[in-house]
Amino acid sequence: MASAEVSNPYLPLLRSSSSAIFLLGAGISTSIGIPDFRSKDGLYASLKLEEYGLNAPEDLFDYEHFCASPAGFFKWSLDSLTLQTTGSKFHRFLSTLKNLHRIYTQNIDGLESSSGVPDSKIVHCHGSLQNSTCQTCNHKCPTPSFTGEVPLCPVPTSPLVVGPRTSSRGKKKQKLTCEGILKPDITFFGEPLQSVVSKTIGKDRLKSDLITVVGTSLKVEPFSKIVNCFEGKKVLVNRDYVGFPGEGRWDCVFLCDSDEVVEEEGTTWREVVKGVFLGRGGVWCEERYQKLLSKKKEKGQGQGQGQGAEPVVVETVTCDACMTKTGKPFYTCEICEGFDLCEGCVGKEEGGKRHRVEEGEDHRFRFCA
């Protein structure tokens, strides 16, 4: 294992870029009190399901659930959402970059724009809270203040004539409004990405020499696949290691908080393995890292061998809860590649139950015997 201590190795890499692209997740806002989704202290872990009429944490942003029962989302919005205008140190840093080509963000809070990044350089992959659209008449308007009630479309419909019809002077006109639900212009699960995403990727595909992925677990598709759309070096900035989506690899990894990676001084970085740097806010588990690499290698060995090739058979894994090696039988998550649990941990609070709280109820474990 490498152990050399170095000054911030990310900033020289960024400054050498002539055209930088950033892919951003919720982790860039945790330093200002906005929780991410899937960490142990994130939104999904703390969400009160019964209070908001949810069966699972993901229901909060599920389009079908919203259409059937929108009240829970707007009650949660009143309790938890603020249209904050002050970004983090990382947000402000982005606004100073002369070589910034584009930001692709999953975040819906609009803090990139309010921190000074030009709107022309921002692609809101999952939409924004700033505006809403009526689900009945498609009227668009600024998002009303969250009150806990379901906001209804104020657009007038055709006047309704009531009262006596024998005299025009006796007629009363009453304006009725559409009263369709005003849904914030954010992308819920079950909705396609904003159309501007694919159009802009097509323009940017060959225009960047550095792609930095910051503060995201890369668990949500199709956003997780965007990194593969660009040419150039691929860099990860995250508190813990995330495997590269697809067949490629990271050129460099910085395990830290997003604010930390833009500091000129204050952190001594340690190169824990080649190309992977650990800062003060990062989490490092070499066994987990090696496991992800071996899983990717095994997956690659099982491909391209022609029809009838034998699949790779994994006989021994490392439990991601107790970090001990275990043979069969064991349990593997059907969604998270390389996340395995031993028989002793799969039913424990810190094992299978915690994983499903953090990642979602759809993360079921398959029995491997």
Residues with Cβ within 8 Å of 125's Cβ and at least 6 positions away in sequence, in order, are 104, 105, 106, 187, 193, 194, 197, 223, 226
User: Is 345 annotated for ligand binding?
Assistant: no
Flag the least confident range among 145-149, 242-246, 327-331, 359-363: 359-363
User: Is 229 annotated for ligand binding?
Assistant: no
Q: How confident is the model at residue 298 (pLDDT cuts 50, 70, 90)?
A: low
Q: How confident is the model at residue 119 (pLDDT cuts 50, 70, 90)?
A: very high
Q: Is 126 a catalytic residue?
A: yes
- If we measure between CA atoms, which residue out of 278, 290, 362, 303 comes closest to residue 55? 362
Number of other residues whose CB lies within 10 A of the CB of residue 224: 19
In CATH, the architecture of 5-34+84-126+188-284 is 3-Layer(aba) Sandwich (3.40)
Q: Span 171-192, mean pLDDT? A: 80
Q: How confident is the model at residue 169 (pLDDT cuts 50, 70, 90)?
A: low
The H or E element that residue 203 is part of is: helix 195-204
* b (16+ CB within 10 A) / e for 61-72: bbeebbeeebeb
- Residue reference for tokens 């949660």: 76
Portion of the chain with pLDDT greater than 70, in percent? 80
More confident residue, 195 or 55: 55
Query: Where exactly are the structural domains of the chain?
Result: 5-34+84-126+188-284, 137-186, 290-301+313-368
**Does the pLDDT at position 19 exceed 90?**
yes
Q: Which of 65, 101, 124, 126 is catalytic?
A: 126
User: Is 153 annotated for ligand binding?
Assistant: yes
Q: How confident is the model at residue 164 (pLDDT cuts 50, 70, 90)?
A: very low
> Is the preceding omega at residue 192 within 30 degrees of 0, hence cis?
no
Model confidence pLDDT, tens digit, residues 219-247: 887 788 889 889 899 999 999 999 888 77
* pLDDT for residue 364: 74
User: Is 141 annotated for ligand binding?
Assistant: no
Residues with Cβ within 8 Å of 58's Cβ and at least 6 positions away in sequence, in order, are 44, 189, 360, 361, 362
Model confidence pLDDT, tens digit, residues 266-282: 678 999 998 999 998 89
Q: How confident is the model at residue 6 (pLDDT cuts 50, 70, 90)?
A: confident
Q: Report the distance separating Cα 241 and Cα 237, nearest Å.
A: 9
Q: Span 46-60, mean pLDDT? A: 89
Please, what is the Cα angle at 113 between 194 and 243, to 5 degrees?
A: 60
Q: How confident is the model at residue 3 (pLDDT cuts 50, 70, 90)?
A: low
Per-residue HEC secondary structure of 38-101 comes to: CCCCCHHHHCCCHHHCCCCHHHHHEHHHHHHCCHHHHHHHHHHCCCCCCCCHHHHHHCCCCCEE
